Amino acid sequence: MLERIPSVIDVLVPQASTYAGDIDGLFTIILVSVGIWFFASEIVFFWLIFRFRKKDGVRAQYVSGEKQSEKKWVTYPHLAILLFDVLIVVAAVRVWYDIKQDLPPAERTVRVIGQQWAWTFVHPGPDGEIDTADDIAKVNELHVEVDRLHHYKLESKDVLHNFSVPVFRLKQDAIPGRVITGWFTPTKTGEWDVQCAEICGVGHGLMGARIHIETAEQHAAWMAQESPLQLAANAAQKQEEE
Amino acid sequence: MAAITKVWRTALVALGLVALAGAAAAQQSTPPGAELYELCAQCHGERGEGNQVVLAPAIAGLQEWYVVAQVRNFKGGLRGTHPADVAGLRMHPMALALETDEELKAVSAYVASLPPVYPEPTVEGGDAERGAQLYGTCVACHGPDGAGNEALGSPRLYQANDWYLLSSLQRYKNGVRASNPANANAQVMLGIAGTLADEQAMKDVVAYIMSLRK
Ligand SMILES: [Cu+2]
């Protein structure tokens, strides 16, 4: 529902996951509701300043803010803002549940390992399973197939890191000693940034990687080319030729 | 009142000019090696003495051509890009922080100019006598005195920490420090390290290399 709200963010950073629109929708809701109150309060503020400006023959009065007629200038907006807060919270909790608490079944699983200062991505090989002989481990290079629901298993080898994919609107802390599972479904092919979003030492700012979102054919071709079994076969063939 | 405003305005204009001049100067010249080295010092130490806690070896006084070559290797992804290379993956982004080749050369020259520190050996259980035998294979490239050979790309060995030499030999042998086939020099050491039968042999040869210090 939220993803139908138009967003200004995707002008700068495109949306490339099923839930990116929901996150941007939340930003828009917050921007609009806070914006309304910002302008409303500024208008009232300047109107009051103008209305009660210095006039000849009128003495300034001291307002203690105790009378009901005075207090309502604080109470009513306060209640209205609380109402808007409830709206924001309800919308946010729904999005949070979808992205972080609900875990739809995976079509693919990748292992994401953070360390000072690189990302290692372990992709399932042609057999589609991780932790098997044909896994493809790559440093700073993640390959995924568009429109497939991926689980990621996030680990850290040393300190806190944060797996952040701006086009997915995804951020997840990596915590040493824990394996954190989450999900994403890419919706747009292309090559985008992956970054670390948790200060992790001097190399933090240089801990960038790239995500390649590929069509099924591109992905299969990449897998065939990079699969360790294939690489071993290539090497053996080369040796025979020599 | 007016006077104060005038002082402020002059001060602001002056500040702006200074900032502009600073920015222009920064754009033109490469910072001196000593300044660039401040980043490196975080791991390799102020004197280039190394720090085992962060796996950073002593680099003070290494041959300049070797430092340039290795930092270029790190920068270009020829070294320090294997998923299991914890130490190399730490150094890789640091080389990327050197934006131009001029900066790379300047900091390398500074590293080479630091007096060698000869860190104390820490690896136990190596037998230098047996190591002397094994070192026979190394002489051709690293020289009988371990001084290295620029033409062959082989560095001086005895200035490094022994734990670093040991870990390098292990990582050459299992391919972690020789994972990129395009790194010809590392491929050479992949072959050589394969001839050292086990960890004991590596410790022995490292103990001998340490004894080459004068
Ligand atoms: Cu980080």
pTM over 0.90: no
**B90/A203 touch (CB, cutoff 8 Å), yes or no:** yes
- Asked if residue A47 has a cis previous peptide bond (ω within 30° of 0), the answer is no
Locate A68 and state its tokens.
């009901």
Angle (CA) A77-A79-A80 rounded to 5° is: 60
B111 and B127 in a single domain? The answer is no
In a shared domain, residues B93 and B158: no
Claim to verify: residue A114 and residue A85 sit in the same structural domain: no
User: Quick one: B126 and B210 in the same domain?
Assistant: yes
Q: Are B123 and B207 in contact (CB under 8 A)?
A: yes
A86 and A130 in a single domain? The answer is: no
B90 to A203, B50, B85, B163: CA distances (angstroms): 7, 14, 9, 17
Each residue's pLDDT tens digit, B174-204: 999 998 889 999 999 999 999 999 999 999 9
Higher per-residue pLDDT: B63 or B29:
B63
Tell whether B89 is within 8 A of chain A (Cβ).
yes
Q: Both B59 and B12 in a single domain?
A: no
In the reported structure, the alpha carbon of residue B126 is separated from the centroid of ligand 1 by a whole-number distance in angstroms of 38
Full pLDDT tens readout for chain A, 242 residues: 566 666 778 888 999 999 999 999 999 999 998 898 899 989 999 999 999 899 999 888 888 888 888 898 889 988 988 999 999 999 999 999 999 999 999 999 999 999 999 999 999 988 888 888 889 999 999 999 999 999 999 999 999 999 999 999 999 999 999 999 999 999 999 999 999 999 999 889 999 999 999 999 999 999 988 887 777 777 777 777 76
Nearest to B93 among A113, A117, A157 (CB): A117
Sequence-ordered alpha helix ranges (H) in chain B: 2-28, 33-44, 64-76, 86-96, 101-113, 128-135, 139-142, 162-173, 184-194, 199-211
State in Å: Cα B64 to ligand 1 middle. 31
Inter-chain touch B93–A115, beta carbons under 8 Å:
no
Q: Which of B39, B82, B90 sits opposite A117 (nearest CB)?
A: B90
Q: For residues A165 and A194, is the Cβ–Cβ distance under 8 A?
A: yes
Whole-angstrom distance, CA of residue A153 vs CA of residue A110: 6
Chain B, nearest residue to A140 by Cα: B81
Residue B42 CA to ligand 1 center (angstroms) comes to 17
Cα of A120 to nearest chain B Cα, Å: 6
Structure tokens at B93: 């982004």
Q: Residue A113's beta-bridge partner residues?
A: A120, A155
Same domain, B169 and B186: yes
Cβ burial A36-70 (10 Å sphere, 16+ → b, else e)? eeeeeeeeeeeeeeeeeeeeeeeeeeeeeeeeeee
- Of A117, A138, A202, which has the smallest distance from its Cβ to B89's Cβ? A117
Pairing of strands A209-214, A141-145: parallel
Rounded Cα gap, residues B42 and B24, in angstroms? 28
Closest of A145, A185, A137 to residue A165, by C-alpha:
A185
Please give the single-letter amino acid code of residue A158. Answer: D
Could you tell me if A77 and A10 lie in one domain?
yes
B43/A117 Cβ within 8 A? no
Are the beta carbons of B93 and A137 separated by less than 8 Å? no
Instruction: Specify the amino acid at residue B177.
Output: R
Task: Tell me, yes or no, whether B188 and B198 share the same domain.
Answer: yes
Q: Are residues B126 and B214 in the same domain?
A: yes
A214 vs A123: CA distance, rounded Å: 14
Question: A39 and A133 share a domain?
Answer: no
Mean pLDDT of B151-170: 95
Q: Residues of B with CB below 8 A from A138's CB?
A: 83
β-strands A118-123, A108-115: how paired? antiparallel
Q: Could you tell me if B25 and B41 lie in one domain?
A: no
Query: Based on the domain organization, do B90 and B108 belong to the same domain?
Result: yes
Residue A101's CB is within 10 A of a number of other CB atoms, namely 8
With a cut of 0.90, is the ipTM above it? Answer: no
Q: In CATH, what number is assigned to the domain containing residue B85? A: 1.10.760.10
CA distance A17 to A172: 15
Which of A48, A83, A101 is at the close of a domain? A101
Of A73, A101, A129, the residue that ends a domain is: A101
Distance B181 CA to ligand 1 centre (A): 29
Q: Is the Cβ of B82 closer than 8 Å to some Cβ of chain A?
A: yes
What angle do helix axes B162-173 and B184-194 make, rounded to 10 degrees?
Answer: 90
> How many separate domains does chain A show?
2
- Verify that A160 and A229 share a domain, yes or no: yes
Q: How far apart are CA A150 and CA A122, in angstroms?
A: 13
Flag whether pLDDT at B28 surpasses 70. no
Of A81, A101, A121, the one marking the end of a domain is A101
Report how far apart, in Å, the C-alpha atoms of B84 and of each of A18, B53, B77, B162, B177 are.
33, 17, 14, 21, 9
Range of the domain at A128: 108-241
Give which of B154, B151, B132 is closest to B141, Cα–Cα.
Answer: B154
Q: Is B42's Cβ below 8 Å from some Cβ in A?
A: yes
Q: Do A137 and B97 touch (CB under 8 A)?
A: no
Same structural domain, B110 and B87: yes
CB A141 within 8 A of CB A125: no
B-chain residues near A139 (CB < 8 A): 81-83, 89
Range of the domain at B91: 32-117
Number of domains in chain B: 3
Are A65 and A119 within one domain? Answer: no
Q: Is A129 helix (H, G, I), strand (E, B) or coil?
A: coil
Residue that has been written with the tokens 């005195």 in this structure: B145
Strand partners, A137: A122
Angle formed at CA A142 by CA A139 and CA A148, multiple of 5 degrees: 155
What's the confidence (pLDDT) of residue A9? 82
Domain end call among B117, B146, B162? B117
Asked if residue A112 and residue A95 are part of one domain, the reply reads no
> Which CA distances in Å does B196 have to A203, B140, B203, B205?
34, 16, 10, 9
Which of B98, B117, B136 delimits the end of a domain?
Answer: B117
Least CA distance to A206: which residue of chain B? B93
Give B84→chain A minimum CA distance, Å.
9
